[in-house]
A and B are shown apart, each in its own frame.
Chain A
Amino acid sequence: MLKFWLSLGTQSFGGGTATLALIRREVVDRNKWMDDSEFVKDWALCQISPGINLLGMTILLGRRLGGTPGIAIALFGLLFPSTVITVVITAFYAHFKDLATVRAALHGVIPATVGLGLLTAFKMVWPLLQTSKREGGGPLAFACALAVGAGLAVAAANAPVVLVLCAAGGLGALFWHAWSKKHSPDGRTP
């Protein structure tokens, strides 16, 4: 089992999306340890848990395959090679960062990282907006206002990030609680 996680930790170059795809192929398609619906359910739970989703997924899979020791083996196997490689790349870069060629290459890589980051942001926000759109114009407008408002609060007013996040969560709870009361099938106002 250690070999399994070690190989995942070494192979999955190219970030989280690549790693998740690789895990799904191994766990669902190859070894049939779980089916697609179980996999998706676990993944959904990881989305709402704190921290890196993929580590949450690794923890749930590790436990499924081998109990508490399974969790330790899975985390170690996935993180040991990838952490070492991350540190080596960073150290290599830090050592050569003053070379003009390295600087020029990085000057190209950072805008690309920004581009991919914006794409990730779009992929994160799209399902949220779709859900809101199905609920109607009001919730959709509210969802857009929350995202834009949080960005502006930080960009223009320099508001503390944790505060903005908590406030947005609180507003979301209030809004959708009230909204669902109004629109629940057994509610008084249809």
Chain B
Amino acid sequence: MSLFVYFWLLLKACLFSTGGFGNVPSLHSDLLARGWANEQEFGEALSVGQVSPGPNGLWVISLGYLMAGVGGAMLALVAIILPPLLVLVVERFYRRIQHHPAVEGFMRGLSLAVVGIFVVVMLRLLHGIGLEAKSVLITLASIGLGITGRVPVIIILALAAAGGLLLF
């Protein structure tokens, strides 16, 4: 595994996406194709990202650690810090062109595609751990709890872990 290519793949994924999970689709396809990470590790890293403090986007650091130890985690940290700095540039330009319909249209098309692909990745994660009724049940239960907006994420995940201990 080339660390340079590894860093570039991470940086590229963060550069061409917005939001902590926007990079999931491209990382998922790039890293799995190279065999550097597997479905299981993706699920684990995304779960750690939900539990740990700070932005959800730190899940990439967890994935980096699983793939290449502390060095991998540090490179991942650099790869996620650099792209957001462009907000300073965006701020300057956006105020001028924000109302151009083509710019708005591009952003909307991009966001819609990100969501569509994101759903596919989520379903593949579920498939990756072995699709069975018990897993789907936990998925539905967590959606139910999440939709209320009252139960903290960490509690939902703790309940899911307890459910896992009981069911599997």
The chain A residues found within 8 Å of chain B, CB to CB, are 9-19, 45-56, 58-60, 63, 75, 78-79, 81-83, 85-87, 89-91, 93-94, 97, 101, 103-121, 124-125, 128, 131-132, 143, 146-152, 154-155, 160-162, 164-165, 167-177, 179-181
In the assembled complex, the CB of A93 is this many whole angstroms from the nearest CB of chain B, namely 7
> B109–A51 contact, CB under 8 A?
no
> B105–A173 contact, CB under 8 A?
yes
- Say what secondary structure dominates the interface of chain A: helix
Contacts of B25 in A (CB 8 A): 154, 161, 165
16 A-B residue contacts at CB 8 Å? Answer: A12-B54, A19-B55, A46-B84, A47-B18, A51-B82, A52-B84, A54-B55, A60-B91, A79-B77, A87-B70, A89-B52, A112-B160, A113-B125, A118-B143, A150-B116, A162-B16
> B161–A78 contact, CB under 8 A?
no
Most chain B beta carbons < 10 A, residue from A9, A128, A167: A128
The chain B residues found within 8 Å of chain A, CB to CB, are 12, 14-21, 25-26, 28-30, 43-58, 61-62, 65-66, 70, 73, 77, 80-88, 90-91, 94, 101-120, 122-123, 125-126, 129, 135-136, 138-143, 146-147, 152-154, 156-157, 159-165, 167-168
Number of A-B contacts (CB under 8 A): 361
- With the chains together, A168 CA to B126 CA distance in Å? 26
Chain A's closest residue to B52 (CB) is A86
> B115–A121 contact, CB under 8 A?
yes
Contacts of A115 in B (CB 8 A): 138-143, 146
Chain A's closest residue to B88 (CB) is A59
Interchain CB contact (< 8 A) of B54 among A79, A143, A148: A79
Contacts of A87 in B (CB 8 A): 61-62, 65, 70, 73
- With the chains together, A159 CA to B23 CA distance in Å? 16
> A56–B129 contact, CB under 8 A?
no
Most chain B beta carbons < 10 A, residue from A112, A115, A132, A161: A112
In the assembled complex, the CB of B97 is this many whole angstroms from the nearest CB of chain A, namely 11
> A108–B160 contact, CB under 8 A?
yes
> B53–A81 contact, CB under 8 A?
yes
Contacts of A155 in B (CB 8 A): 120
Given contact pairs A18-B153, A115-B138, A91 touches B65 in the complex (Cβ within 8 A): yes
> B14–A147 contact, CB under 8 A?
no
> B48–A118 contact, CB under 8 A?
no
Chain A's closest residue to B153 (CB) is A14
Contacts of B120 in A (CB 8 A): 151, 154-155
Given contact pairs A87-B65, A106-B164, A113 touches B57 in the complex (Cβ within 8 A): no
A-B pairs, top 9 by smallest CB distance, nearest first, are: A172-B109, A108-B164, A82-B54, A176-B105, A51-B83, A112-B160, A168-B113, A115-B142, A52-B57
Other A-B pairs, 5, CB within 8 Å; known A162-B26, A176-B104 = A9-B54, A48-B18, A112-B159, A114-B139, A155-B120
Contacts of B12 in A (CB 8 A): 162
> A45–B87 contact, CB under 8 A?
yes
